[in-house]
Structure 1
Amino acid sequence: MLKLKNAAFYLFILELLIAGVLLSCAQPSEIIVERKAIFIGISDYLYLPDPGPASGRDLRYPDDDAKDLANLLESQGWEVNRKLINPEYGDLAPGAVPARKATIRAEIMSWFQDLEKNGIAMIYFSGHGTEESGITYLVAADYSAGSTSAFISATELSTWIIESIPANVTQNVIVIADSCYSGGFVSARESSDVISQSYTPYGTNSSVSTLAALGQFGDLLAANAAEKGVLAPIVISAAGSAELSYEDYSSDSQYYLGYANGVFTEFLLEAAVNGDANGDNLITCTEAYTYAAKAIDDKWNRTSGSSTAFYPHISGGLRDLVLFTK
């Protein structure tokens, strides 16, 4: 059986399939539906030390990730909520609040409650992620060492989405997570990328067969039909469920890359300019994912080494939504 040992080459094949099959499901070129997004960017954790070389500390760039993406989408007609953007050292903007777990839930519930029928809802998270006993969690700002009370599981987030956005209002929901282990929020059954959740460039665990990849599309159709009219969100995760994700170095470091963002979000932002694969001036979730995944593999994984390699993932079935416009 033919094996594709280069994930970038496989992604090229996937892009061709998507261009011919999935993008036909995107919205027309004029975006007329309401689009609302909430941004959670946690650099400052209330009970963790300031950023440094060790793990378990505050982060440098999640607030910049959230602000940069919020500003971009707002300029393209999205309504955005910035209340849960928490910069380093607790320097909150007017109206912002610490992104505690209970506050995140409350903001999601209130922000989307008046979403227009068939509108698009998006939740963006940048911050710490963790894994406990095989379960992946996003980590809210009120995390303290030894406690799991600030962990947000995929089940909890899914429940919040269902409670705040009834299926009879819209099923157009996007979740983007730039955190370690965030691939755990992508359903393996509905994954559109078929990349190992623990990716090593050039390694055998990134090998997939073309038959397995195409067979996955059948699984996606079956999964969507089984949903009985309730579709899972389109989820784009920065890393696999067994992987760390990375942010740029401090601006005073000799290794500073000039991103001033998380690596995944840096290339997601680039996708708004360079990710229009079919030239229709719309960049869908699939196009944005494809661009970011290729860029991470080419510009990060191939230069930083296998020990820090990671790979984004996407799920959501055979459908697509416009993320950026040009």
Structure 2
Amino acid sequence: MRKALVIGIDNYLGVPLGGCVNDAVSVANILEKNEDGSPNFDVRLITNPSDTTDIPTTRRLIEELFETHSDVALFYYSGHGLLKSTGGYIVTSDFKRYDEGIPMHEILGLATNSKARSKIIILDCCHSGSFATSNLGNSSVSNLCDELTVITASRDIESAIELDGHGVFTSLLIDALQGGAADIRGHITAGSIYAYIDSALGAWAQRPIFKTNVSRFVPIRSVNPKISLEKLRRIIKYFPKPEDEFKLDPSYEFTSEKAIGVNCSIFKDLQDFESEGLVKPVDEEHMYYAAMNSKSCKLTALGYHYWRLVKQNKL
């Protein structure tokens, strides 16, 4: 069972913040299913909660997310964040002085005591980098329980930027979940999401924060593999040993007068491997010339990684 609570709050003291609700809706829709249409997270989407007051409603929802046994419990929040001497807060619509919202350390406590096997928290709000800092207020020290991952839009001293009515961080998060952060198998993890967002934001832009204490990365979403697993498993057939080179000649290139059908099919696989960085030609710039000039190709370091996974029956 995979549960996700997605909250978007853009009504702050009666003044709309921007695209927080739209961002939350987009994230919820993406998390519900994998690219092939298979179910992913059982998502509960809440926008501008308005029971008796927002604070109890939001607190109850977060408690319900983390209190049940589940394989993955994911919490995403888009809204306003506040940093005080007492720590960081996610701010609700009924904000008032001394009762601003939900303390980030309280959310951390709920995640720490959660029965879920894996916990993932994603915060798109100002000062979100203060989440999971030490009790002494030292932002360089994190307090994370086992199997907890936190991704925040900014450091504790920074605002989370909006552009064209959408959070910059969440816009990148959505791109990552739609496949930008997928590996060759189509798996998208918290680690690959952060790497994708981090590479897109310059040194002078807001800096996302990644904190984790896990023994494994669980896929947050899956998209169609860049190379089918059936084809990928043939890598150990073409390279019985990882250091082997696959000898080519013109019979592998379909435009050659010497082309042989079965060899052309093999060459198509090798070209697909090359396009994803698994294979490279030896002493030639392109695979075409490697074939036409009777050279060879070999595994890259990434290719060896997937060769090993196939060899160990992990794919």
TM class by shorter chain equals 0.5 to 0.7
User: In the alignment, what sits opposite 1:73?
Assistant: 31
Distance apart, 1:98 and its partner CA: 8.2
Matches within 5 A, 1:103-122: 103-116=57-70, 119-122=71-74
What RMSD in Å do the two structures reach over aligned CA positions? 2.8
1:161 corresponds to 2:92? no
SS in 2 for 1:240: coil
Structure 1 partner of 2:85: 133
Aligned residue among 56, 66, 75 for 1:123: 75
Matched letter for residue 316 of structure 1: T
Rounded Cα–Cα distance in structure 2 between residues aligned with 1:133 and 1:112: 27
- Residue number among 176, 179, 182 corresponding to 1:271 in the alignment: 176
CA distance in 2, matches of 1:186, 1:110: 20
Give 3-state SS (helix, strand or coil) of 2:213's partner: coil
SS of aligned partner of 2:29: helix
Give the aligned partner of residue 178 of structure 1: 124
Find 1:235's aligned residue among 123, 135, 150. Answer: 150
TM-score, normalised with respect to structure 2: 0.61
Displacement after TM superposition at 1:134 (Å): 6.6
Q: Which runs of 5+ in 2 are unaligned?
A: 35-39, 224-315
Structure with greater Cα Rg: 2
Matches within 5 A, 1:1-326: 34-45=1-12, 48-50=13-15, 58-76=16-34, 77-82=40-45, 84-86=46-48, 100-116=54-70, 119-133=71-85, 135-144=87-96, 147-162=97-112, 165-166=114-115, 170-187=116-133, 230-231=145-146, 233-249=148-164, 260-276=165-181, 278-297=183-202, 306=204, 309-319=205-215, 320-326=217-223
Change (3 A) 1:155 1:232: farther
Aligned partner of 1:79: which letter? D
Tell me, in whole angstroms, the C-alpha distance in 2 between the residues paired with 1:114 and 1:177: 21
Secondary structure in 2 matching 1:287: helix
Paired residues, number: 214
- Between the aligned partners of 2:29 and 2:52, the Cα distance in structure 1 is 20
Change in CA separation of 1:232 and 1:274 when aligned onto 2, cut-off 3 Å: closer
CA displacement, residues 41-98 of structure 1 (integer Å, 9 cap, x when unaligned): 00113xx243xxxxxxx3111101110000001123210001x212xxxxx8xxx758
- The TM-score normalised by the length of structure 1 is 0.59
Matched residues, percent identical? Answer: 28
Cα deviations by residue, 1:191-218 (Å, 9 ceiling, x for unpaired): xxxxxx7xxxxxxxxxxxxxxxxxx9xx
CA distance in 2, matches of 1:150, 1:323: 31
Structure 1 counterpart of 2:230: none
Q: CA deviation at 1:108?
A: 2.1
Counterpart of 1:314 in structure 2: which amino acid? Answer: F
The structure, 1 or 2, with the larger RCO (C-alpha pairs under 8 Å, 6+ apart) is: 1
Alpha-carbon deviation of 1:322?
1.5
User: SS of the residue aligned with 1:150?
Assistant: strand
Higher strand share: 2
The AA in structure 1 aligned to 2:210 is I
For 1:252-290, what per-residue CA distance to the aligned partner results, in whole angstroms no more than 9, with x for missing partners?
xxxxxxxx4210000011012343453121010000111
Quote how far apart the aligned CAs of 1:40 are. Answer: 1.0
Give distance in 1, aligned partners of 2:168 and 2:101. 23
Distance 1:237 1:40, change over 3 A: same
Q: Is the 8 A contact 2:148 2:214 kept in 1?
A: no
What is the DSSP-based 3-state SS (H/G/I as helix, E as strand, rest coil) of the residue aligned with 1:143?
A: strand
Q: Partner letter of residue 6 of structure 2?
A: F
Residue 171 of structure 1 contacts residue 233 of structure 1 at CA under 8 Å; is this kept in 2?
no
Code of the residue aligned with 2:28 in structure 1: it is A
SS in 2 for 1:316: strand
**Given the superposition, is the C-alpha separation of residues 110 and 273 from structure 1 closer, same or farther in structure 2, using an over 3 Å criterion?**
closer
Given the superposition, is the C-alpha separation of residues 114 and 133 from structure 1 closer, same or farther in structure 2, using an over 3 Å criterion? closer
Structure 1 CA distance for aligned equivalents of residues 51 and 68 of structure 2: 22
Paired amino acid for 2:152: S
Supply the distance in 2 between the matched residues of 1:288 and 1:183 (Cα, whole angstroms).
Answer: 16
Deviation of the 1:105 alpha carbon: 1.3
